[in-house]
Amino acid sequence: MTEDTFPRIEVGEWASAGLDWLTDHLDPVFDAMSDGMGWVIQLLTDVLLAPPALVTIAVFALLAWAVRSWQLALGTVLSFALVVSMRQWENAMLTLALVLVATLVAVLVAVPLGIASARSSRVSAVVRPLLDLMQTMPAFVYLIPAIIFFSVGVVPGLFATVIFALPPGVRFTELGIRQVDAETVEAGHAFGATPRQILRGIQMPLATPTIMAGVNQVIMLALSMAVIAGFVGADGLGKEVVSSIASLNIPQGVEAGLGVVVLAIFLDRLTAALGDPGQYPGSLRAVLRRRLARTP
């Protein structure tokens, strides 16, 4: 039996025709999206790069101490000082801006979609295959429609990053809400709470650790995709990695890679602490809370 036994199905041609239709009919929309997303990323980049690097590092360290521990704060200072010493600070902030904006967009889409999936089996049945497709599709494939819609630069990188990083946010949100104890929800109904009140007052607070675990995964995937976005001209550490591959520049590749590792560890530890604050009694906010509790 050979391939000729089966009829040729032009799936790729259909996808190409669909992209052409979107480009022809929604070009003003894509231009507006490109301008808006580009402006947000540039604004955040300017905010991150406006103060001296030492000031920004001090803010990062204080944030790490506030939510987790002084050990993480010290590690933050040392690791970001290494980034500065490798002359990768500006590239790291460019990548951080891209990751933060992509994460924000992905979470704004993922959480409502996860809530809808948790509350409706029909929605979940439709969404799950789409999430499977989004997670298993090779990351480089997302760069094709991104370039078609937005040309080259940081915006197509953001577009591809959001699509690639979105699925864990939806899955973890749905999982967290479905795992809320049914008796607790029934008690809310018994006291006359509306579905919106139950969602806001019972399900969302109890599901927060799971949802934050999903946000953590969104950030990690966004960071990995932000590096791949360097292939379409997105400035930052990803572009440095691409440049090092093209020129076989080992020092440049190692330094850019270490910059990505520093960002990944910092963001991972930070979001983990935000998802389960009670687990870190050494955090600054926990210490202050205990001292305030002792005050007569």
Q: Which pLDDT does position 256 carry in this prediction?
A: 86
The predicted structure's pLDDT at residue 282? 57
Q: What is the mean pLDDT of residues 55-74?
A: 86
The share of the chain scoring above pLDDT 70, in percent, equals 91
Give 196-205's long-range contacts (Cβ < 8 A, gap of 24+). 199/115, 203/177, 204/177
Give me the pLDDT at residue 197, please: 79
Lowest mean pLDDT among 12-21, 30-39, 59-68, 113-122: 12-21
Query: Which CATH code of 3.40.50.720, 2.40.50.140, 1.10.10.1100, 1.10.3720.10 fits the domain covering 27-53+70-275?
Result: 1.10.3720.10
More confident residue, 27 or 109: 109
pTM of the full predicted structure? 0.83
Q: In the chain, what are the domain boundaries? A: 27-53+70-275
Dihedral sign (CA 162, 164, 167, 172):
negative
pLDDT digits (tens, 9 = 90+) for 209-224: 888 888 888 888 888 8
Statement: residue 23 has pLDDT above 80: no
Residue 15, both tokens: 């996808």
How many distinct helices (H) and strands (E) make up the chain?
Answer: 14, 0
**Mean pLDDT calculated for residue range 184-188:** 78
Q: Measure CA 135 to chain center.
A: 14
* Position with higher pLDDT, 105 vs 149: 105
Percent of the chain clearing pLDDT 90 (strictly above):
4
Contacts for 256 with CB less than 8 Å, ≥ 6 apart: 88, 91, 237, 240, 241, 244
Quick one: pLDDT at residue 161? Answer: 83
Q: How confident is the model at residue 78 (pLDDT cuts 50, 70, 90)?
A: very high
b/e map 118-157, b = 16+ CB within 10 Å? beeeebbeebeeebeeeeeeebeebbebbbebbeebbbbb
Over residues 87-103, the mean pLDDT reads 89
> Would you place residue 80 in the very low, low, confident or very high pLDDT band (cuts 50, 70, 90)?
very high
Residue 58 has a pLDDT of 92
Average pLDDT, stretch 35-40? 81
Instruction: Report residue 184 as tokens.
Output: 């607790």
* pLDDT grade for 236, boundaries at 50, 70 and 90: confident
Helix axes 11-25 and 143-150, enclosed angle (nearest 10): 30
